[in-house]
Amino acid sequence: MNTPSILLQASGANGGGSMLIWLILIFVVMWLLMVRPQQKQAKKEREFRENLKKGDRVSFSGGIYGKVHEVAEHTIDVEIANGVVVTVEKSMVQPIPEAQTAGSKK
C-alpha cells in the first residue's frame, strides 16, 4: 500500500482525520526546531561574508586567524602574520566569536 491510500483509509469513521492533523503538527514542530535555526544561521553567515571589509579579524575553517587585507568578489586576502598574505575563498572564512576577540585585546 502506498501512503496516500493509507491516509484515505485512516480518515474514515475511526478518527483518521486526527492522524492527519498529528502528522501536520509533527512536520511543523520539526521545521521550527530544525530547519528554521539552520536558515537563520546561514543567513547570518552570508551577511557576515557580504559585509567583510579591510581590517576585520577572521578565522579560517582550519583554525588559522588573520586580518582582512583586501576583499574581492569571491575571494579575500588575509594577513596571517606580518607580511604573510594568503588568498582564500570567502566561504572558508568565519567570524571570530565575541569571547575570543575580547580575550585577545587584553
Residues 87 and 73 in one domain: yes
**34 and 70 share one domain:** no
**Longest CA pairwise span in the chain (Å):** 77
Pair (66, 37) in one structural domain: no
Helix 16-30 with 3-10: angle, nearest 10 deg:
130
Q: Are residues 65 and 100 in the same domain?
A: yes
| pLDDT value of residue 106 | 42
Q: What is the pLDDT of residues 60-97, one digit of tens each?
A: 877 889 999 999 988 999 999 999 999 999 888 888 87
Listing DSSP states for 30-72 in one string gives: HIIIIIHHHHHHHHHHHHHHHT--TT-EEEETTS-EEEEEEE-
Angstrom distance (rounded) from CA 50 to CA 71: 10
Total structural domains within the chain: 2
Position with higher pLDDT, 9 vs 25:
25
If asked whether residues 36 and 22 sit together in one domain, one would say yes
